Amino acid sequence: MKLHYLGHSSFLIESKKGYRIVIDPYHLKVNKKYPEVSAEIVLITHEHPDHNGYWLIKPVKFQDKEIQPKTLKRTTNFVSSFEIKTSTNDLIEFIAIPSFHDKFEGKKLGPNTIWTFYVDGIKITHCGDLGHLLKEQDLKIIGTTDILIAPISGGDYTINFKEFLILMDQLKSIVSIPVHYKTKYTPWISDSLDVVDFPAIEKLDDYVLNLFTIPPIPKIYLFTEDIWDKIPEKI
């Protein structure tokens, strides 16, 4: 599996067989043009313009066919499950867990969705713009995860880095990726990657993280601000 970082909170996930999933494409608020990306599944965590640009995603060409992207959003206040069959005949279950963008049950910044699913046998949990620590019932639904992607903005936007560490411990994540941090492209966010402090940190030098197996020890992987400038215009 390959994790392509597309900036802010957005990723392209590419399986060994080649099917593609995009999470949270941005179209406003981020001072960088979103790359031209093709995928067959698009996950949206919430309806803010730096997360919901699903129409930007291009169709996938597979065996002389053009596959239009299918966008998944949570439309109820309950845990939802979506089963999608990919172009490679893989059946993926996407679980959407209700949460909030703030610590006031969404009264300030609205609802948020946590997505959890498997690709190539590796469990991925993307927290969107999670604004609070998880309740016991949410932790039971998610269980443990191999890859955790969660924000560290702090301030009024999302959880901060200390809460990110709590989430890591609760979900027993091995690969943990902080996102939604302050950069020259997102100057309105409170906290930058400077707040990150952990015994095992790897600063990546490319926008693609290859994960064919899960590392033996928990580690935080940093897509630094310099990586943003390495993201190609078309992927």
pTM as predicted: 0.96
Per the structure, the complete domain to which residue 136 belongs is given by 2-228
CATH number at residue 21: 3.60.15.10
- Residue 95: pLDDT band by 50, 70, 90 thresholds? very high
**Cα angle 115-120-125, degrees, rounded to a multiple of 5:** 20
Sequence-ordered list of residues with C-beta below 8 angstroms from that of 190, at least 6 positions apart, any chain: 153, 154, 155, 156, 157, 182
> In the structure, how many helices (H) and strands (E) does the chain have?
3, 16
pLDDT tens by residue, 26-48: 999 999 999 999 999 999 999 99
Residue 155 has pLDDT above 90, yes or no: no
pLDDT tens by residue, 186-230: 999 999 999 999 989 999 999 999 998 888 899 999 999 999 999
